Structure 1
Amino acid sequence: MTNEITEKLKQASDGLLMMSESEYPFEVFLWSNQVQEPITAQKVLQLTGHSLETSVEEVELDYLFRNCAVEKEWYDEIQKQNVPKFKSLVKTLKDNLTDIKVYRLGTINIDVYIVGKTPSGDLAAISTKVVET
């Protein structure tokens, strides 16, 4: 079941690049048997090997994709074509994961982790980077 979910996340994010000052692809993660306790920023820092001193910002899923999953007048053709793909990615996340949290780790070169619980009790995540100077 969980493998199906990570497969769906891979398919939904395949070929998409997160837009910021630079563009980065998405990577899918799975951490088994992790849902005994709630998802916290500290837990995500530990699971991803970041220092516990790393600055963390939590944002809403829809806020993270506010500029990707909604068409803007100034978009070029590729960005316009990607809007439905980003919408589909958000839907895939919401359909397959519960208790979704989005963490932005660090500053300037920011690691973004979208983490949620799978029905079988694992944690699944997709990560990307955004650059904000």
Structure 2
Amino acid sequence: MNDEISVLIARLQDATKGLLWMSEIDAPLEVVHWLPSDLELTQERLLKLTHHPLTTPVKMMAVDTFFAGATEEQDWFGEEERAIAEQYRTLVAILKQSLSNLRVYRVGEVNIDFYILGQAASGDWVGLVTQAVET
């Protein structure tokens, strides 16, 4: 792993410290780093890398769409909620500044894995994974 990737992983770990993705469960955001970097990340490749059956539904969405509810402040927010929204905004900024081809992959239907992935300058796939339950 080169220095660029090590620094990026450390920045993402710091940015996600204490954050939970809210759904019917509250799940942490964990950093992922995948090689080989020379392969295109198709839906089939994603399912193989994440050990999902190849029949698992995959949908893609924009990063801003995925994080909209977490980054937008509401009138009723207190100090803690505003701080969490700011932490999410910082996280999104790091992702956008550091990664190209940035996408969110929604894998599954009820028990969902979300992969927020992009390519570093080295070509390595780096990002985050979290989970949600939607019934």
TM-score for both structures, normalised by structure 2:
0.90
1:8 aligns with 2:11: yes
In the alignment, residue 53 of structure 1 is paired with which amino acid?
T
Q: Structure 1's 48 and 24: CA in aligned 2 closer, same or farther, altered over 3 A? A: same
Amino acid at match of 1:114: I
**Structure 1: how far apart are the matches of 2:114 and 2:63?**
11
Greater relative contact order (Cα 8 A, min sep 6): structure 1 or 2? Answer: 1
Aligned residue for 1:85, secondary structure, equals: helix
Q: Which stretch of the first structure deviates more once superposed, 72-81 or 7-16?
A: 72-81
Aligned-residue offset at 1:77 = 4.5
Tell me how far 1:90 sits from its aligned partner. Answer: 0.3
Post-superposition Cα deviations, 1:44-66, rounded to whole Å, max 9, x if no partner, equal: 11111111111111111011111
Structure 2 unaligned regions, length at least 5: none
Once the 2 structures are TM-superposed, how far is the Cα of residue 116 of structure 1 from its aligned partner?
Answer: 0.6
Q: CA RMSD in A?
A: 1.4
Match runs of 1:1-133 below 5 Å: 1-34=4-37, 36-75=38-77, 77-133=79-135
Check whether the contact 1:39–1:101 (CA below 8 A) recurs between aligned residues.
no
TM-score of the superposed pair, with normalisation by structure 1: 0.92
What residue identity is the alignment partner of 2:121? Answer: P
- Seq. identity, %: 36
Post-superposition offset of 1:41: 1.8
Question: Equivalents in 2 of 1:9, 1:100: separation in Å?
Answer: 14
**Structure 1: gaps (5+ residues):** none
Preserved CA contact (<8 Å) 2:29 2:129: yes
SS of the residue 1:114 aligns to:
strand
The structure with more helix, counted as a fraction of residues: 2
SS in 2 for 1:67: helix
